[in-house]
Amino acid sequence: MTLTQLSEPYLEFAKKAFSREATYRVEVFTSIGSLVLRVYLLRSLWTALYSQNVAPRGIPLHSMITYATVALLMSLVLEVDGTRAIRDKIREGSIATDLMKPINLPLYFFSDGFGQTIFHALTIFPSLLFSLLLVHIDVPAAAALGAFALAFALGYLVNFFLNFLMNAVAFWTLETFAVQLMVRWASDLLSGQILPLAFFPGFLGRVVNDLPFAAIYSTPLRIYIGDLPPSAWAGAFMSQLLWLALFGGLSYVVWRSAARRVVVQGG
């Protein structure tokens, strides 16, 4: 069996997820309008903060507005959680029959989430055009743009496995709301999505930059605005790859243990 034949069903899963998301057209337009409003509010907020000398070290106002806008656009993709279906299937009890199907179930969850992600990524373009009417964001050189794309892809995978682990906890607890809430709060604060990690001083700043959350938002964003020089790109990519390998390995171990648990309980 060729690689194309192996991947074909998962491409279909992604297409179905894309089509499913596309049916909610009113929600799409509402999302775009909401995003444009948030871009305007962020520009106003950071302009007011900079006028009061409340600014992250080494990031001028224009770069900060670019940072906040790009972070907002990234969130359209990164906040899609296809692995939430794990928790839902466990609650319904359908996970047992799904495990019997001739597919790789974790890959199915990835494909389903990826289909949703592609659809939401497409909404970035009209959102970006409308946003440009409100703020002028910088576009980096081709090399930096390519490095940003790679860092963003690695951050997407780190985020997927982090969500996978949180939802897989449902095999033991049935409910993951508390775990997800704590991790989401930590991620919002420590990933650089809302505040650049330059706001964290000294030792604390070094610690938060080494956490996995920084690999999701902060690393791509710092590359985009030029806060991370080309000489530091290799080290940043290596850090992302290490977190990806760690979370990927943990996901494999947890999934194997969870699958055995279902088999034992279900006979």
Output the pLDDT for position 29: 63
Decide if 59 contacts 216 (C-beta within 8 A).
no
pLDDT at residue 8 tops 80: no
Q: Radius of gyration (Cα) for the chain, nearest Å?
A: 20
Decide if 240 contacts 155 (C-beta within 8 A).
yes
Residue 211 is given by DSSP the state S
Residue 244, token pair as written in the block: 């990806």
CA distances from residue 62 to 46, 69, 138, 224 in whole angstroms, order as listed? 9, 11, 8, 13
Output the pLDDT for position 36: 75
Output the pLDDT for position 56: 75
pLDDT grade for 25, boundaries at 50, 70 and 90 = low
Give the CB-side neighbour count of residue 6, counting CA atoms within 13 A.
5
Output the pLDDT for position 145: 92
**pTM score, whole prediction:** 0.85
Output the pLDDT for position 22: 64
Which residues in 97-113 are b (16+ Cβ under 10 Å) and which e?
ebeeeeeebbebbbbbb
pLDDT at residue 264 tops 50: no
Q: Please write the tens of the pLDDT for every residue from 79-133.
A: 877 777 778 777 777 777 777 777 788 888 888 888 888 877 777 677 667 666 6
Neighbours of 59 (CB within 10 A): 20
Q: Please write the tens of the pLDDT for every residue from 150-171.
A: 999 999 999 999 999 888 888 8
State what percent of residues in the chain have pLDDT above 70.
Answer: 85
Output the pLDDT for position 5: 44
How many Å apart are CA 93 and CA 118, to the nearest integer?
A: 29
Angle at 91 between CA 256 and CA 265, to 5 degrees: 50
Q: Please write the tens of the pLDDT for every residue from 190-242.
A: 899 888 888 888 888 888 988 899 999 999 999 999 999 999 999 999 999 99
Beta carbons within 8 Å of 130's beta carbon, 6+ residues apart: 32, 35, 36
pLDDT grade for 62, boundaries at 50, 70 and 90 = confident
pLDDT grade for 245, boundaries at 50, 70 and 90 = very high
Output the pLDDT for position 1: 47
3-state helix, strand, coil in the chain (%, to 5): 80, 0, 20
Output the pLDDT for position 3: 45
Overall average pLDDT of the 163-191 stretch: 82
Output the pLDDT for position 232: 94
Give the CB-side neighbour count of residue 143, counting CA atoms within 13 A.
6
Q: Domain locations in the chain?
A: 3-266
Overall average pLDDT of the 172-195 stretch: 81
Give the start-end residues of each E strand in 29-153.
none
Alpha helices in 1-56 (DSSP H): 3-22, 25-51
Amino acid at 173: T
